[in-house]
Amino acid sequence: MSGETRTKGTENCPVIRSQQQRPQRCRNERSQRAEEFRKRRAKKNEGDPDIVKSPSDHKEYRYINLKNGMNVLLISDWTIDDCTSSDESDTELEDLLISSGTDEEENLATKIREMERNDRNIKESEDGSLDGEVGSEGSGGFGSDSIVEVDPEVREDHDDPEIYEELVKQEDENKMGSTEKQAAAALAIGVGSFCDPDDLPGLAHFLEHRELELLQKKLKEWVAVESDSQQPHLRTKVIEMVKIAADSLEDLGATVTLSEMGIQQLSDAQNIPLPPVILAKLGDDTQKPTVCFYGHVDVMPAKSQDGWKTHPFGLTEIDGNLYGRGATDNKGPVLAWINAVNAFKALNIDLPVNIKFLIEGMEEAGSIGLEKLVEKENERFFSSVDYILISDNTWLSRTKPALTYGARGNACFSVEVEGGEKDLHSGSAGGIIHEPMSDLVALLDSLMNSSGLILIPGIYDDVAPFTEEEKKQYELIEFDVEEHKSNLGVQEFLYDTKEKILSHMWRLPSLSIHGIEGAFYEPGIKTVIPSKVIGKFSIRQVPHMDLSKVEHQVKKHLEDVFSNRRSPNKLTVSMLMGAVPWIANINDPQYTAARKAIRKVFNQDPDMIRDGSTIPIARVFQNITRKSVMMLPIGAMDDGEHSQKEKISRFNYINGTKMFASFLLEISKLQASKWKQ
């Protein structure tokens, strides 16, 4: 591209200046068409349900339709007015991707220019067609409502407006092939420094969205698979879903291994196969960092009669939200990672990192056997891994991104009280026996008071005190107490300040009672005294709490309370499942890279948060591999994981994909800087 002159059309619109002057009437045509496009754009954006914008988003959006039926959304921070306000309005948008930023970005821009030039040369050799650049609606091109330019010699030969418009239409069709290639690269471009105003002034976003027919369609296919890992009769569906995910990774060019996990023995002595775990890798360059992504493709149970307003396994879009079981937990984020990697492949651009995937199908059922697999693969699959990422939680807000650096553990208990051999009639036995249900209710009531304080002696002994650094972090977090009430559907919290609410959600233990097995629960009333009842409750632990110590404290407390009742019934307390808490170092390099990626895509710093729920695999990875572990969510706080309203917004799904791609670029840069030092 020697001999090219690069100047700015306006302060906010960097373009490549044409050295050939256009006749005045062509400039008039341009102004006229610009006005038409402005009107069409305003009409398109007004109430268009396909364009999902946050209230603070002031960028320009425009959909175009490519020849193969693929829809593309162009997003930019500059408009026609920026590009036509200069006296030098006769610009070409052929080379908007100027060489700036990092070497990877410059190479990417060069590849796009080469493809565009090659397509133009082929067309000229075939039919001597136009050499102008197209950016009109229906064709693609760069920028917001860029304008058609036709070579002046061709224009002189065709003063007839109808012939001229036909030439423009023909040029639109000719350019679609190259435009699609340019658009296919946009995820990889838009999430790197190309969208950083410091690197490329005037073109803050140029991003291709293949959501309508490709990204969203794929998510719909995944959600349609009822991969419920808790229901034995649906185990074949889980295995099917794992294989679908494996096929998607193979399409990326990854080497995929399905690690068999053996047999699961159920309580009724039935044996069913465990779904295999995917171990996939793409790239083996020792000069690049290796990132490992963990996700799962199994889901919680869901039935229409549970209260779903949409089909739980039929992805349904309502007001920009994609509803369906697994949309946010965790099929959507898994697909977003695959889509992010595929954006690099679309232009045959080398990934800036080596990437590995560990994807399972039993997370919602306790990740049976996964810890043993991680131990087994620690010296093989994980030996070259530098960073481990998990995207299986949500933000604290509906609109502000977050990075998660901690999660609570969980100890699940059952407390069983057994009386006689059979259920009894309350009219015959009521008032003369020690009823198991009365004992159980008293035991459960002894666990906490009406303010939520856990009454088990010693339970708070190992909770770490607040630090000044934590207090400062809490002050920076954007958290609307009233909005959180609304999202949870409650009228009042136990606490009234942001700091108290967040601390009880994240860094203090909590106790929840979940249900009673053996009690009559159907409509109406059954005047029976059950012979055996089992209460279920759990305690969410925080860092420094020892799981075995918590188990001992719970059992001793309940046994003491039961002893004081002097009941002849039999008490059995069991810890059904235990998962330890996890906490990470927020100054770790991948947290730095993630903050930069979030800034570039969402234009704001993330909240640094903990998660009140439990993701056991985070601690498993940390303890066994000794690698850096980070949780990088893309779901919003109102996504309704496990609920009858589970969804992911289209905005989060697409921008989350871009953020993942941006993270790969950023962690590559940080690693390169580290090695240079």
Domain boundaries, the chain: 203-407+582-673, 409-463+508-579
The DSSP line for 34-57 is HHHHHHHHHHHHTT-TT----TT-
Q: Please determine whether the domains at 203-407+582-673 and 409-463+508-579 fall in the same fold group of CATH.
A: no
Classified as helix, coil or strand, 164 is helix
- Could you confirm whether 298 is annotated as catalytic? yes
What is the distance between the alpha carbons of residues 339 and 214, in angstroms, rounded to a whole number?
A: 10
Q: Return the CATH architecture of domain 203-407+582-673.
A: 3-Layer(aba) Sandwich (3.40)
The DSSP line for 95-152 is T-S-S-SSHHHHHHHHHHHHHHHHHHHHHHHHH--------STTT--SSSS------H
Which pLDDT band holds residue 512 (cuts at 50, 70, 90)? very high
Q: Which of 8-22, 135-149, 647-661 has the highest mean pLDDT?
A: 647-661
Q: Write the pLDDT tens digit of every residue in 195-213.
A: 333 332 222 233 344 445 5
Torsion of CA 332, 336, 338, 344, to 10 degrees: 170
Q: Which of 21-30, 461-470, 542-551 has the highest mean pLDDT?
A: 542-551
What is the distance between the alpha carbons of residues 201 and 473, in angstroms, rounded to a whole number?
A: 32
What is the distance between the alpha carbons of residues 164 and 33, in angstroms, rounded to a whole number?
A: 13
Q: Write the pLDDT tens digit of every residue in 579-621.
A: 899 999 999 999 999 999 999 999 999 999 999 988 889 999 9
Q: Which of 88-92, 188-192, 224-228, 599-603 has the highest mean pLDDT?
A: 224-228
CA-closest candidate to residue 407, choices 388, 418, 422, 394: 394
Phi/psi-derived region of residue 567, left when phi > 0, alpha when psi is between -120 and 50, beta in every other case: beta
CA-closest candidate to residue 389, choices 617, 173, 566: 617
Which pLDDT band holds residue 345 (cuts at 50, 70, 90)? confident
**Which listed residue (329, 363, 392, 641) is catalytic?**
363
**Which listed residue (298, 377, 392, 416) is catalytic?**
298
CA 307 vs CA 296, 304, 313, 322, 635: distances in Å: 25, 6, 14, 17, 22
Fold exhibited by the domain 409-463+508-579 = Alpha-Beta Plaits (3.30.70)
Structure tokens at 371: 């810890």
CB 206 within 8 A of CB 190: yes
Which pLDDT band holds residue 217 (cuts at 50, 70, 90)? confident
- Could you confirm whether 50 is annotated as catalytic? no
> What pLDDT, on the 0 to 100 scale, is given for residue 230?
94
pTM of the complete model: 0.69
Helix axes 235-251, 216-223, angle to 10 degrees: 160
